[in-house]
A and B are shown apart, each in its own frame.
Chain A
């Protein structure tokens, strides 16, 4: 049982009248993973999540959660997931504890277990001080936490969160991310977002979606490695520009370089190595030898943002051709 992957999706397609929201999606998510769905608005993230949570049927293809088909064994699937939809809808006329109790009962928890679990998730999500408040009067951050607590209350194997940090202030975002991170290992988590640092910070693995298709699926580190394959080094050096040029031309490890003037005496040099070697020790050596001033020396790592922009752009170019 435990070796069946948590999510198995194969050639999943969802067509609405006139357009295809999800187009032949296939991926697998193992138990205990935190996977991020990344994509621009309308990429098919929410639709995929709705299919996985057995809310919408797929047009074709199959999706399994913990070995159960989302369409045929929908109740079994729903027993195993905690789903927080986009915009986090709640009953605004209920009180926090009352709502969580109601949801726990709906998800089949017995009375005593329900009481315990509600207390635990309220503690976990920092809701203890608002337990008697009416949900409609809570701030956005608290509402979001109520939604999260609801998704967690029955200890589901799979937690699906559709844009969990949207509309929160930076502090709240940080605490929500911390919470999501702490869920890994014990639960499988699938979160969707279009905020890139979020995926970088919380997820083990990213699936980049664009126009209903997967563009890339890898760990965040691997994706970055792919992108900084060139091993470009950026150095900010105070030296005469002519000397810098002459120096980089003389170094055989540097394939090509780019010098731009920043403030004062400093120049920004972007150096690309010939065969993927790390240029940093060499650059430092040279700078020391010549007695130049050095204030920054880094290996330029592309953020997911670059990867994302790069990938969606190449995709568009291919389509254009």
Chain B
């Protein structure tokens, strides 16, 4: 555990000692801020009968942030160390492979959570200035963040996996972007395939990230979705672990 915490600290400090970390924070703050202005404009024009989080989600920036920021956050985790050779010094200390994988995942997850904090700020600003007229529900807010974290977890583990496969950060980022966008586009398969009742449509509904997130922002916490994200996250972490271990295979 001590070693694990040391590793997490090192990884996190890596984000803040390089320009990439600040670039990601700035980029996400910009996108969240943009969607906030769009939302404010819409709110001043007419009344909406849905949660603010839902309104926020209906701006296109949400997926932008998720699909773009995730690969950039995770691209360095393994690829950078493989490239510079520090991977060798790291793996010849008495640390476990799983420990390294989990530490890298945890630190990217913490960074991801930090990066989303501006959204919370936006919502609190909104709440502060509209105290009486538009009460903000805590429920949808909590479920929105749970949704963001669950999706983030999946994207982070995908990114770590992509990063463990290559020595190049660029390739790692492109790979995890490709994985991420494929998962995302699966949501739209149901638009292409004509909906006729059957297991295909049911399956497409279950794997649609867009549908899942729609539920989260409305304040619905569906355990099926939680299990979906947690199991996929664990699956990709397991794959990453195996990739790290494969170096010792004969």
Contact = CB atoms under 8 A, between A and B. Distances in A.
Interface in B33-88: 84-88
B126 to A, nearest CB: 38
Interface in B1-43: 2-3, 6-7, 10, 13-14, 17-18
B125 interface: no
A259 interface: no
B17 A94 contact: yes
Interface stretch (B155-163, B231-239, B242-250): B242-250
B195 interface: no
Interface string A87-98: 101111110000
Nearest to B85: A89
Interface in A125-181: 150
B108 to A, nearest CB: 16
Contact of B88 (A55, A71, A93, A94): A55
Contacts of A91: 10, 14, 86
A131 B89 CA distance: 20
Contact of A108 (B85, B91, B94): B94
Given A87-B85, A94-B17, A103 B93 contact: yes
Contact of A105 (B3, B14, B247): B3
Contact of A93 (B6, B14, B87, B90): B14
Contact of A59 (B17, B95, B250): B250
Contacts of B96: 75
Nearest to A87: B85
A102 B6 CA distance: 7
Contacts of B133: none
Interface residues of A, number: 32
Chain A interface, DSSP helix/strand/loop, else mixed: loop
B248 A74 contact: yes
A106 B95 contact: yes
B91 A55 contact: yes
- Greatest chain A CB density within 10 A among B10, B92, B94, B248 is at B92
A75 B87 CA distance: 16
Nearest to A93: B17
Contact of B94 (A57, A84, A94, A107): A107
A92 B89 CA distance: 13
Interface in A83-126: 83-85, 87, 89-94, 102-103, 105-108
Nearest to A91: B86
Contact of B92 (A71, A76, A83, A105): A83
A44 B13 CA distance: 37
A194 interface: no
Contacts of B3: 105-106, 108
Contact of B86 (A54, A79, A90, A107): A90
A56 interface: yes
A81 B92 contact: yes
Given A79-B94, A150-B89, A89 B247 contact: no
Interface of A: 50, 53-59, 71, 74-76, 78-79, 81, 83-85, 87, 89-94, 102-103, 105-108, 150
Given A105-B3, A106-B7, A108-B94, 6 more contacts: A76-B94, A85-B85, A89-B87, A91-B14, A103-B89, A103-B93
13 contacts: A55-B92, A71-B248, A78-B94, A83-B89, A89-B86, A89-B89, A91-B14, A91-B86, A94-B13, A105-B6, A106-B90, A106-B95, A108-B3
